[in-house]
């Protein structure tokens, strides 16, 4: 099969690789749409030791089951593979499984390829009316769905629900959509890139600004740099909630003194539970997350150029979705 393989710092190669060999408890999936994630970019830049070269990246996938009793079934893929037997898995917190694996990270190759192998429990059936390119957004949308669910659960009932999202990429936009789907009355996205800010406003119907003032009951940091953590610390209202999703930098930024004195709740949140993934997929199918028409589509053969364009800031759309067969 053909795949886009990470070869080292800023180097991707479209090449022939061996077809996956599904185990007895896995199904073969023909990948028909796969999104580029921020974690893929971290690996591309050589910033993720968990993704050493050579490796097939990509984990935001949808496609069609090949072979067996479910042959031809259209599915979106939950890329988190967990043990299913530890205390966290049994309590419905599979994202905290100590032996959790994710495709695109050793030992599991990713979905920038024509085929992948996955356990049946990781697959959600996609209705015929839903394009697979939209179904592939279930993974990044689930990240934000999970973060927003936790933030809303931690919010004081008397708070006004005014929300701020730092970062207008896919995770930030997904957070805004999840907030709106869950009833947040006032959501603003901070995005410094003017082209993307215009895209968020004109194409996605979002309130997008270059900078924010005032205070917010909920702040979602979808970037994770020291500067955005500092902004979150300053902009969270007394008694408010910060949900930190981004992994841009490891340290710095939080104003722990203000957070302590003002009783601001900080939630670190990563990935999602299996139920969050299923709920997000259903929200896509039901239309509760909007038209989802904010992606740019390219061939997997153009994957290297897509990464270069994302790195240079030349892409206004929050997400690029690749087609391994185009």
- For the chain, 326 residues long, give each residue's pLDDT as a single digit of tens: 999 999 999 999 999 999 999 999 999 999 999 999 989 998 999 988 889 999 999 999 999 999 999 999 999 999 999 999 999 999 999 999 999 999 999 899 999 999 999 999 999 999 999 999 999 999 999 999 999 999 999 999 999 989 999 999 999 999 999 999 999 999 999 999 999 999 999 999 999 999 999 999 999 999 999 999 999 999 999 999 999 998 888 899 999 999 999 999 999 998 999 999 999 999 999 999 999 999 999 999 999 999 999 999 999 999 999 999 99
Q: Calculate the CA 320 to chain-centre distance.
A: 12
pLDDT of the residue at 126: 98
Count of all residues that appear for the chain in the document:
326
Distance in Å from the first CA to the final CA of the chain: 13
pLDDT of the residue at 124: 98
| Residue closest to 42 by CA, chosen among 319, 310, 320, 325 | 310
Buried b (16+ CB within 10 A) or exposed e, 243-255: bbbbbbeeeebbb
CA-based R_g, the chain, Å: 19
Dist. CA 12–CA 44, nearest whole Å: 8
pLDDT of the residue at 246: 80
């Amino acid at each position: 099969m053909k795949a886009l393989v990470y070869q080292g710092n800023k180097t991707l190669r479209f090449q022939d690789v061996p077809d996956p060999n599904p185990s007895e408890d896995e199904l073969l999936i023909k990948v028909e749409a796969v999104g580029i994630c921020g974690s893929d970019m971290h690996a591309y830049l050589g910033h993720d030791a968990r993704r050493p070269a050579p490796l097939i990246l990509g984990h935001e996938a949808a496609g069609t089951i090949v072979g067996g009793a479910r042959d031809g079934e259209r599915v979106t893929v939950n890329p988190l593979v967990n043990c299913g037997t530890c205390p966290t898995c049994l309590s419905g917190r599979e994202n905290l499984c100590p032996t959790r694996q994710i495709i695109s990270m050793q030992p599991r190759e990713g979905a920038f390829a024509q085929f992948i192998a996955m356990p049946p429990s990781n697959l959600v059936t996609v209705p015929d009316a839903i394009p697979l390119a939209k179904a592939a957004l279930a993974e990044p949308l689930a990240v934000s769905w999970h973060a927003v669910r936790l933030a809303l659960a931690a919010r004081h009932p008397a708070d006004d629900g005014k929300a701020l999202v730092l970062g207008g990429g896919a995770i930030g936009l997904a957070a805004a959509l999840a907030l709106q789907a869950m009833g947040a009355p006032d959501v603003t996205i901070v995005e410094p890139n003017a082209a993307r800010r215009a895209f968020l406003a004109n194409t996605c119907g979002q309130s997008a600004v270059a900078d924010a003032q005032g205070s917010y009951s909920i702040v979602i940091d979808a970037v994770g740099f020291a500067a955005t953590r500092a902004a979150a610390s300053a902009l969270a209202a007394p008694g408010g909630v910060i949900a930190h999703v981004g992994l841009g930098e490891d340290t710095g930024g939080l104003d722990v003194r203000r957070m302590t004195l003002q009783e601001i709740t900080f939630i670190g949140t990563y990935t999602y539970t299996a139920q969050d993934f299923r709920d997000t997929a259903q929200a896509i199918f039901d239309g509760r997350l909007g038209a989802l028409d904010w992606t740019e589509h390219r061939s997997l053969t153009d994957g290297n150029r897509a990464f270069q364009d994302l790195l240079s800031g030349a892409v206004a759309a929050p997400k690029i979705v690749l087609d391994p067969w185009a």
